[in-house]
Chains A and B, each alone.
Chain A
Amino acid sequence: EPEVTQTPSHQVTQMGQEVILRCVPISNHLYFYWYRQILGQKVEFLVSFYNNEISEKSEIFDDQFSVERPDGSNFTLKIRSTKLEDSAMYFCASSGGTGGVKLFFGSGTQLSVL
């Protein structure tokens, strides 16, 4: 069964460093998303991406964040200068195309900022 894959599963970084989280959405899906979840808290929407551009973003997605689809398969989230409060689980998701309106998640990247 097709699945969303994310790498790495864990990322440890120093405050102020840049990190790139990588995702391979399900092929033929058209919409791509990043969510984050701080331990013990709710799933929070960061950004959605469609037709090679951001379609919606939340207040969390400030200038420190950016997304890219550098080729036909990868979808990346970059945090330019990490803060302690960026420590969270980051989930990539995709939908649309053959997946219809259902949202499928990757297994997440646990980001720890020290």
Chain B
Amino acid sequence: AQSVTQPDIHITVSEGASLELRCNYSYGATPYLFWYVQSPGQGLQLLLKYFSGDTLVQGIKGFEAEFKRSQSSFNLRKPSVHWSDAAEYFCAVAARETDKLIFGTGTRLQVFP
């Protein structure tokens, strides 16, 4: 069965520092992988996605993620965090057959000035 693990429940960084949010998945074939961001009381916004091809994908708001098949990982990175990046971040995997999304439990990012 597909599953997604986000090992870090809560991360705190200083504004301007670099960021890496971890995501590991379990899936039998090459999955569709996603990162979504959720601000308090809001819906989910797609940051980036990986389907195939180049394993380093660029997203919105300066985020990028790298697919590493050998490690079953899809970690999200940003070189310099802004205070407005404080939010909850969800990694998700889609099964090709039905495309329902399987989400991780999320990582809450806090940014200090």
A in complex with B: no
Query: What is the interface of chain B, defined by CB distance below 8 A to chain A?
Result: none
